Structure 1
Amino acid sequence: MKLIRIVLALVGLAALGFGVSLFLEYAAPAWPDSLKTVLWFGGGPIVNDAVFAPVAGVLGLLLSRVLPTPWRAPVQVGAVATAVLGFLAFPLLWRTYGVAPKPGLHDGNTWLGLLLTLAAVWAVVVLTGVVRTFARSRVPRKNAS
């Protein structure tokens, strides 16, 4: 088993080295302009690990401590869905043409689409929470027979 792990680690490092060599082949001729690409590749994981992951962890911990049991899972799923939808919509919210054009992508109102989608997500969260609360509050009746 240890040998397999070592082989897999070496294959992964070789793939990483190949990727770095391809990037350097791309970036070296246009170094001042390719600095933006380096920041884009490195900045995303750094911002995610330094900002978004800790905020999500603290928010999840707080929600699990504050909310009643029937509401915990629906609200946590709604929070994750909200974050994912926000990440997906961010490029178009930040700049109108922040991503490569696709047919129909830039035709709509991004803010309205995001808000309607979030309203649908949170409507399902509230509905699920209410149903789970109602189902939990029902007291099982003893059979009179």
Structure 2
Amino acid sequence: MRWVLGAIGAGLLGWGAILLLPLLFTSLGDTVSLGGWLIGGPILHDAVIAPVVGLLGLAISHRVGRAWRTPVITGLVVSAVLVTLSVPWLWRTFAPYVNPGLHDRNVLLGLVIALGVVWLAVLAAGLLNRRRVSAAPPVDG
């Protein structure tokens, strides 16, 4: 099964490369924009977002109780993903290619609402975990 999934993945990677090649040679502006997406995004993630989220998760995991660790760290990771995905639309309003229906809304408001939903879910999960931990019988050790 692993070989089948690997072959499908390699085929899709090849198909993506075939679709990408014409964009690289169309114009210098398209090449630079594409480079920003394909190179800038991973650099932003690996150099800034992942270390910040990792250090925040490490610091928070030592400060919060056991019941809150997983929800808070999960909330941090999901928040980082949401912020990373919204950066191109927040940075410049129409930086990426125009996709009908995507640009006719307030991206910042949508991001704030999504983050609010994430952290409400973190609060609910933390409270449920805290109740379970406090209700659990003591472990003989």
Identity of aligned residues (%): 40
Quote the residue 1:45 is aligned against.
42
After superposition, the CA RMSD in angstroms is: 3.2
Q: Tell me whether 1:57 sits opposite 2:77 in the alignment.
A: no
Aligned pairs, number: 123
Asked if 1:115 is matched to 2:103, the reply is no
The secondary structure found in structure 1 opposite 2:105 is coil
- Is 1:78 matched up with 2:65? no
Structure 1 residues 12-45: Cα deviation after superposition (integer angstroms, max 9, x where no partner): xxxxxxx8xx97xx56x977x6883686244443
Q: Residues 65 and 92 (structure 1 numbering): CA distance in 2 closer, same or farther, change over 3 Å?
A: same
Q: Cα deviation per residue 1:76-105 (whole Å; 9 max; x = unaligned)?
A: 111111011111111111111122222211
Kindly tell me: are residues 98 and 34 of structure 1, through their superposed partners in 2, closer, same or farther at Cα, counting changes over 3 Å? closer
Structure 1 gaps of 5+ residues are: 1-18
User: Which of structures 1 and 2 has the bigger CA Rg?
Assistant: 1
CA distance in 1 between counterparts of 2:116 and 2:74 reads 14
Q: Are residue 90 (structure 1) and residue 87 (structure 2) matched?
A: yes
TM-score for the superposition, normalised by structure 1: 0.67
- Aligned-residue offset at 1:56: 2.2
TM-score (norm 2): 0.68
Match of 2:124 in 1: 127
Q: What does residue range 16-55 of structure 1 map to in structure 2 within 5 Å?
A: 26=24, 36=32, 40=36, 41-55=38-52
How big is the shift at 1:58? Answer: 1.2
Q: Distance in 1 between matches of 2:97 and 2:86?
A: 13
